[in-house]
Structure 1
Amino acid sequence: MSKLQSVADVLTLEDTLEFEKVPVEQRYPWSNTYDIFQQSCRDYASDKVMEFLPTGVKDDIAIPVTYEQLLARLHQTANLFHGLGVNSKDAVSIMLPTLPHTIYAIWGAQCAGIASPLNPLLEPRHISEIIEVTGSKVFVAMAPMPSAPHLWETTKAVLELSPQIEHLVLISLPGITDSIPDGLNVTVTDFNQQLEEQNPASLDSGREFKGEDIACYMHTGGTTGRPKVAQISQANFAFIAQFYKDRVSDRPRENVFAALPMFHIYGLMVSGIGAIAAGLNIVIMTPSGFRNPNVIENFWHHIERFQFSAFPCVPTILSLIYEVPVGDCDISCLNEVLSGAAPLPIQLKKNFEERFDCTILNGYGMTETTVMLSVTSSKQPPPAGATGLRIPYAERIIGHVDGNKLVRRCEPGEAGVVLSRGPNIFVGYMEDSDNEKAWVDGWFNTGDLGYEDEHGFLYLTGRAKDLIIRGGHNIDPVIIEDPLLKHPSVAQAVAVGQPDDYAGELPVVYITVHPGAEYDEEELMAFAADTISERAAVPKRITVLDEIPLTAVGKIFKPELRRMATETVLLERLAELGIQARVECIHDTEKGLTTSIEVAEASRVKELEEALQGFALSISIR
């Protein structure tokens, strides 16, 4: 029997091992999400479970929902889907902005069958590919929104590409959406209207849940190629929800800042079922979350109004918030920031903590780990640069791998591939081809590189595919980015490999600067040369951008920077040769980055082909 009663008291690797003396099923007995919702709604029936801010302006009128209302809506939503033919192994595709209805749809779908949240900013072809893989016949979307016409255009395009869809369920909101249109070649269901006709007290299906049941199909990636679809079980969600509840058990019930998209595992867990399991109140910051300028502009006002003690975020958004003046807002309530989804620059962490008198806790996880692999605690902050200890019951090792074989485990301080297994690890991808490189002798291969120190703290050193390979020498972008972030003018720095016909790749850096900052590119290059530890890592070029390209969930979109770098170097080579041509670099869903060059003088095509033959690129010249 362990002397530790709560995971909130786990601060060291020794504590983790002590905590694990009690079997996981004794600490966290729930094996499915439905039981967790039922328990929370019994415990906190008339308390608020969420408040919705439609616009994010100051003193926006918040629309409340109680726990007992939530359970009724989950029953009604599940029963609506069940009436459309959804059973325990059927998927419901859900493409919605962040609304209370999104919570009803995602978790109601898990009560009826399998939820499949979709990123509405994906190309319709990618969304259709996901729908085809999951076999979904029910598609949940927004009715036409004048403020976001692209959503309806995407919906129509997806329907044209997905003949398997039999039912379109549309969400309408007074004053936000137009009327539901006619003439669609699919059965259309008005969600709001049909919901009121459903049984609010129980599940009509009489479903009995098992931990191994698939609860959710979460797509990963998908911006440059075919998305992979990860299968997350009821037990995966239940474990993390109970872990989250246990972790905040030593704190008072409070409001949760919800501005992350719920089609992403981070928002789905931290401002979703984790918060609900803990009996917290989720404050939904507009349908578009952090992408809404009002949310950023009035950020500190919202912190004061709702007395948030913490908020979940990603590093790119933190850099935007860093520039927002506090003004006369009293933000003394704020203690912690939960940073995840991408590596946290050390300098940004230091500056943010000093300016706003709070602690940034840098976690680590991904879709396939049901959001969590490592956690940190403000009770005992980890060493600088560490992402924390492994979560209890989730084993983690660092290893040298060869294909799907573990060659050996690494010693403390020795870098290798991060591998994990445990109750948080997903079931696997839906397509066998995606699973081929995902497992190493029973361990999930995260694809991340890092090392653990002798105390069990994990340090990430990069991702295998993000390495810049210069003449066979592997360069970690972090050793370029972190020194540049110490320059007083630099707000963000992202290093990528620029194609080179001699070295294969050369490092280049794209930066943004602080508002009003003065800079000189030659001085920045000199600063980089003086502060970057490896000579091979000193960038060939530093380019200042107005903003760094981001994905829909706020992650830095490195493929776009690689595209820009490729286009730049090819245009330079054309100028050196005195050849006039049009260069177009695009992300092909099958081939990755491809380049097309249209030469003005046909007689010079052969010359250009020879001049560019050293580049390891897919180039079409005509």
Structure 2
Amino acid sequence: MKFDPVLIGPRRAQSIAKGWWPDRTINDALDEALAQCPDQIALTAVCADNGARTQFTYREMARMADRIAVGLARLGVGRDDVVSMQLPNCWQFSLLYLACSRIGAVVNPLMPIFRERELTFMLTHASSKVMIVQKRYRNFDYEAMLDGLREQLPDLEHLVVIGAGQDGRPAPHSFEALLSDPGWETAPDAQAVLTAARPGPDAVTQLLYTSGTTGEPKGVMHTANTLMANIVPYAPAMRLTPADVILMASPMAHQTGFMYGLMMPIMLRARVVLQDVWDPALAMRLINDERVTFTMASTAFLTDLAATVSEQRSGVPTLRTFVCAGAPIPGPLVERACAALGAKVVSAWGMTEMGAVTLTGLDDPDERSFNTDGTPLPGTELKVLDNDDRLAAPGVIGRLLVRTSSGFAGYLNRPHLNNVDAEGWFDTGDMAYVDASGYLRIAGRNKDMIIRGGENIPVVEIEALLFRHPQISDVAIVAYPDPRLGERACAVVVQKPGANLDMPAVVEFLKMNKVALQYIPERLLVIDSMPKTPSGKVQKFRLREIVRDGKD
């Protein structure tokens, strides 16, 4: 694959001079961990189905990374070849990335929920040479699906299947037979293979497709410098050290899991616990059994964990910090979670294109997490522009632009969509405001904004209020067209069990909370569940389609 990381060169000199880019790769971090703490536990992977635990020390991790790397080279994988993998949070995921980094290959994680339509596009767009899947996961046969796609994927040379085989014997195309069982790292040519194509810090190392809240996936390219530039200030902001134990249940096929559950523990020389299927009761047990101190996930994970801890009346005393990202967190949820978990709930905002951009501080009052998405990390600048492209005054909603050291290298084969101006400002597509104290608050995507008769409706704030309604468990507000006002607002809600919500009750509740009449939704749609991306973001484009088609 020929990559076009056009956003790297123009900012390299400044990023190095200011110390924003560490000019290192994950190979350097793993090599240092191997030298300094070889026998420390690095990774514990837990399988929810059978309770199996697999552990690696840093010595074992480095050895297995070398083994898989040489095995991939035996399959013809080399510098800039794309290795795609559709895997849950398992040890093979982590080790495959480390192995790819040894030989200059580019890892392309794909969410397990993707099926034929998404995979055909992504694997073709990436010119993937190797695809790695589990034989079965959550009662779905991934091998059969990919076998059915092979004729449509001329660039795909190898399908490698974890667990393929019969009678306990690995099949010839299995991960075990090709990559993890043979002692490839002891072969005479192993060291030459492992050193010949090691990538530099500006080489593309990760290709990650956007999760599709707008319906159009784009291949986001990152280098070691852009990824690590975010983790370097993030870890001290969260006061993380080698003594920490990090739980990662958020998918590692998304940036949250990849950066803070795969890369960050190695950079810290800390330990990570991987959970492959989200189950809040299992997460609670893992936190207590493994003495987890830190985790990061979306709002849905926080909601589930807090509810489970409350229901089971069992604390999680070692858990110090839960970073919640992916979408603005409703204030009532943060309040409940803080009380239930006894941990600091940190509000964060970020994107696949740049990782976490803003965080509330560990010393901030809890109200900051209720009402804001935090302040920028070092090496990051924000600006909000009004409708005339002038800097918006504090508290005024406008278009959010970001300039950051962790900004991506560009969209694969779509540089015209990079949306970065000559000064390095990236138009995020989000609407937001910055308050007088410099704290950011996301107000929704550009397409999520509702302009009713020329008046911008503060969607996020109205949603946060409705989260407090005793009959509502989830809510999103979307626009529908109106011939006179241009747009009106519809509240789409998921009711709590036994509830019987109607429009007058919604209106009365918002009036009681002193909401301006023009901000009150004018339609109500009750649905069973919200359409969401795997990272927990509500797919409002789908809700708009439902509302537009009059399915309420």
TM-score range, shorter chain: 0.7 to 0.9
Alignment CA distance shift 1:108-1:50 (3 Å): same
Check if 1:397 corresponds to 2:383: yes
Which structure 2 residues correspond to residues 284-295 of structure 1 after superposition, within 5 A?
A: 284-286=274-276, 289-290=277-278, 295=279
- Tell me whether 1:149 sits opposite 2:149 in the alignment: no
- Structure 1, unmatched stretches of 5+, are 1-19, 182-187, 573-622
- Residue from 250, 268, 279 that aligns with 1:278: 268
- Please state if 1:269 is matched with 2:254: no
CA distance in 1, matches of 2:219, 2:297: 24
Counterpart residue number, 2:91? 100
Which of 506, 530, 542 is the matching residue for 1:560?
542
SS across alignment from 1:447: strand
User: Residues 560 and 317 of structure 1: is their aligned pair in 2 closer, same or farther, counting only changes over 3 Å?
Assistant: farther
Q: Where in structure 2 are the equivalents of 1:533-544 lying within 5 Å? A: 533-544=515-526
The structure 2 residue matched to 1:214, chosen from 200, 204, 210, is 204
The answer to whether structure 1 residue 302 and structure 2 residue 286 are counterparts is yes
The 3 A distance-change label for structure 1 pair 543 and 528 is: farther
Where does residue 457 of structure 1 map in the other structure? Answer: 439
Amino acid at match of 1:484: L
- Cα gap change, 1:322 to 1:277, in 2 (>3 Å): same
Per-residue displacement from partner, 1:33-86 (whole Å, max 9, x unpaired)?
Answer: 2111211232221111111221268xx352211111111111122222222222
Aligned partner of 2:361 in structure 1 is 377
The CA deviation at 1:351 is 2.1
- Which residue of 1 is the match for residue 323 of structure 2? 338
Aligned to 1:319: 303
Cα distance, 1:484 vs structure 2? 1.1
Matched, 1:236 2:229: no
Structure showing greater relative contact order (alpha-carbon pairs closer than 8 Å, 6 or more residues apart): 2
The 10-residue stretch of structure 1 (67-76 or 238-247) with the greater mean CA deviation from structure 2:
238-247
Give the aligned length: 529
1:475-522: CA deviations, max 9, x gaps? 232132122122233222111123445544321112234456675653
Change (3 A) 1:472 1:29: closer
Superposed displacement of residue 537, structure 1: 2.5
Per the TM alignment, residue 264 of structure 1 is displaced from its structure 2 partner at its CA by: 0.4
Structure-2 residue corresponding to 1:591: none
The change in CA–CA distance for 1:30 and 1:461 in structure 2 (over 3 A counts) is same
Sort the Cα spacing of 1:525 and 1:246 in 2 relative to 1 into closer, same or farther, 3 A: closer
- Residue 37 of structure 1 is matched in structure 2 by 30
Counterpart in the other structure of 2:342: 357
Question: Quick one: distance in 2 between partners of 1:397 and 1:473?
Answer: 22
Q: Residue by residue, what CA displacement relative to the aligned partner does 1:368-425 show, whole Å, maximum 9, x if unpaired? A: 11x12112222234734221121112232223488xxxx4433444433222223201
Task: State whether structure 2 residue 489 is matched by structure 1 residue 507.
Answer: yes
Instruction: In structure 2, list runs of 5 or more residues that go unmatched.
Output: 1-13
Q: Which amino acid aligns with 1:152?
A: E
SS of alignment partner, residue 204 of structure 1: helix
Q: Distance in 2 between matches of 1:179 and 1:472?
A: 67
191-200 or 265-274, which moves further after superposition? 191-200
- Counterpart position of 1:494: 476
Q: Measure how far apart 1:244 and its partner are.
A: 4.0
Q: 3-state DSSP class of the match of 1:93?
A: strand
TM-score by length of 2: 0.87
- Map of 1:6-85 to 2, 5 A cutoff? 24-25=18-19, 29-55=22-48, 60-85=51-76
Tell me: CA distance 1:47–1:519, structure 2 relative to 1, closer, same or farther (3 Å).
same
8 Å CA contact 2:328, 2:460 repeated in 1: no
Using the alignment, how far apart are the partners of 1:160 and 1:121 within structure 2? Answer: 21
Q: Distance in 2 between matches of 1:21 and 1:209?
A: 19
Give me the whole-angstrom Cα distance separating, in 2, the residues matched to 1:390 and 1:146: 38
- Does the 8 A contact of 2:21 with 2:225 survive in 1? no
Cα contact 1:220–1:228 (8 A) shared by 2:
yes
Match of 1:579 in 2: none
CA contact 2:45–2:273 (8 Å) conserved in 1 = yes
Question: C-alpha displacement at 1:24, in angstroms?
Answer: 4.5
- Secondary structure, in 3 states, of the residue corresponding to 1:88? coil
Q: Is the 8 A contact 1:241 1:274 kept in 2?
A: yes
Aligned to 2:10: none
> How far 1:331 sits from its partner (Å)?
1.9
Secondary structure of residue in 1 paired with 2:427: strand
Q: Distance in 2 between matches of 1:73 and 1:106?
A: 11
2-side partners of 1:534 and 1:41: how far apart? 60
State the partner residue of 2:5.
none
Is the 1:228–1:434 contact (alpha carbons within 8 Å) kept by the matching residues of 2? Answer: no
Q: Is the 8 A contact 1:37 1:277 kept in 2?
A: yes
Distance across 2 between alignment mates of 1:355 and 1:543: 31
**Who is 1:121 aligned against?**
113
CA shift, 1:347, in A, is 1.6
- CA deviations on 1:254-285 (whole Å, 9 max, x unpaired) are 32111111110111011110122112221111
Cα distance in 1 for residues equivalent to 2:533 and 2:15 = 41
- Alpha-carbon distance between aligned partners in 2 of 1:524 and 1:246, rounded to the nearest angstrom: 43
- In structure 2, do the counterparts of structure 1 residues 66 and 334 end up closer, same or farther at CA, with 3 Å as the change threshold? same
Aligned counterparts of 1:523 and 1:248: Cα–Cα separation in 2:
41
Quote the offset at 1:28 in angstroms. Answer: 6.7
* Within-5 A mapping of 1:184-195: 189-195=173-179
Identity of aligned residues (%): 23
**Residue of structure 1 aligned with 2:122, choices 119, 124, 130:** 130
CA RMSD of aligned residues (A): 3.0
Q: CA deviation at 1:350?
A: 1.5
User: Cα deviations across residues 327-362 of structure 1 (Å, max 9, x unaligned)?
Assistant: 253422223211011111112112221233322101
Amino acid at match of 2:221: Q
Is the counterpart of residue 88 in structure 1 residue 72 in structure 2?
Answer: no
Greater Cα shift, 515-524 or 133-142? 515-524
Structure 1 residue 546 displacement after superposition:
3.3
Q: Give CA deviations for 1:222-256 in whole Å, capped at 9, x if unaligned.
A: 46644101110121123233334444556561321
Is the counterpart of residue 388 in structure 1 residue 374 in structure 2? yes
Query: What CA distance in whole angstroms lies between the structure 2 residues aligned with 1:341 and 1:434?
Result: 26
Deviation at 1:102, TM superposition (A): 0.9
Q: Deviations over 1:129-187 (max 9, x none)?
A: 222222222222222x2742253343234323212211112221799x99777xxxxxx
Alignment check: 8 A CA contact 2:491 2:521 kept: yes
Q: Aligned partner of 2:268: which letter?
A: A
SS state at 2:220 partner? strand
Q: Pick the structure with greater CA Rg.
A: 1
CA distance in 2 between counterparts of 1:377 and 1:152 reads: 45
Contact kept, 8 Å, 2:70 with 2:194, in 1: the verdict is yes
CA contact (8 A) 1:418 1:446 kept: yes
Q: Normalising by structure 1, what TM-score?
A: 0.78
Q: 1:222 to 1:450 in 2, by over 3 A?
A: closer
Q: CA deviation at 1:538?
A: 1.4
